[in-house]
A and B are shown apart, each in its own frame.
Chain A
Amino acid sequence: MTIKQSELEILLKNAFPNSVIEIKDLAGDDNHFAARICSSLFKGKNKVEQHQMVYKALKGKMDKELHALSISTEEK
C-alpha cells in the first residue's frame, strides 16, 4: 500500500489552497514522506487541530495507503 508523492500533493493542495506545501519522499518507496505546510487556515488552531486538519485532508489514507508521514505545520 503506497501513495504517489503527486497524489499526496494534490490532496494537500486541495485542502490548503494558497499555502506553501513542501513534500519530501524520505525513503524513495512512496511510503515515507515528510510534509511541511504553511497556511493561513491554521490561524487560531492549536498544533493538535492543525495536524488533524492535515490528516483529514488525506481522506483516511493515513496509516492505510500511507504508512509514515512526518508533519510540520506553520501559520502563514
Chain B
Amino acid sequence: MDVNKKIEEIINSGDVVLFMKGTPEMPQCGFSMVAVNILKHLKINFNSFDVYSDENIRQGIKKYSNWPTIPQIYVKKEFIGGSDILKEMFEKKELSKFFLDKGIQINN
C-alpha cells in the first residue's frame, strides 16, 4: 500500500494520534516520553504508532508533515507539532483548553 495512504489511515484512526518511538508503556526516546507523559497527565485518550515498527512510516511521516523529528501529534487530522510545542502549550496552560475547543474529552 502507498505509504501516504497508510499514514492517513493512522491519522484517521482516532481523535488524538501520536507517532512516537516505542510505545506509551515503554517510550524509546526522551522526546516521545515527554509527549506521552503530557497526554497521560491530562488523561487524554490517544492512539499511538511506533515508528520503529515500520521504517517506511518512520521516513514517510517526516515528509508527510514536513517535520524531520519524532514524536508528532495529530489532533482530528490536524498536525499540532512535536514534543516542544506540546510541552510549551502545556506549560502555558493552553493545552487543556485546546483539547476542549477541539471537542476532545479530558478525563479529569
Contact = CB atoms under 8 A, between A and B. Distances in A.
Interface in A47-76: 47-48, 51-52, 55, 60, 62-63, 68-72
Interface in B1-47: 30-31
A55 B68 contact: yes
A55 B67 contact: yes
A52 B82 CA distance: 11
B67 A47 contact: no
Contact of B62 (A47, A51, A63): A63
Interface residues of A, number: 13
Contacts of A47: 81, 85, 88
Contacts of A52: 66-67
Interface residues of B, number: 14
Interface in B67-96: 67-69, 79-82, 84-85, 88
Nearest to B84: A71
Chain B binding site: helix, strand, loop or mixed by DSSP? mixed
B84 A70 contact: yes
B104 to A, nearest CB: 18
B80 A51 contact: no
Contacts of B85: 47-48, 51
B88 A51 contact: no
Contacts of B68: 55, 60, 62-63
B81 A48 contact: yes
A68 B71 CA distance: 12
9 contacts: A47-B88, A48-B67, A48-B80, A51-B85, A55-B67, A55-B68, A55-B69, A60-B68, A63-B69
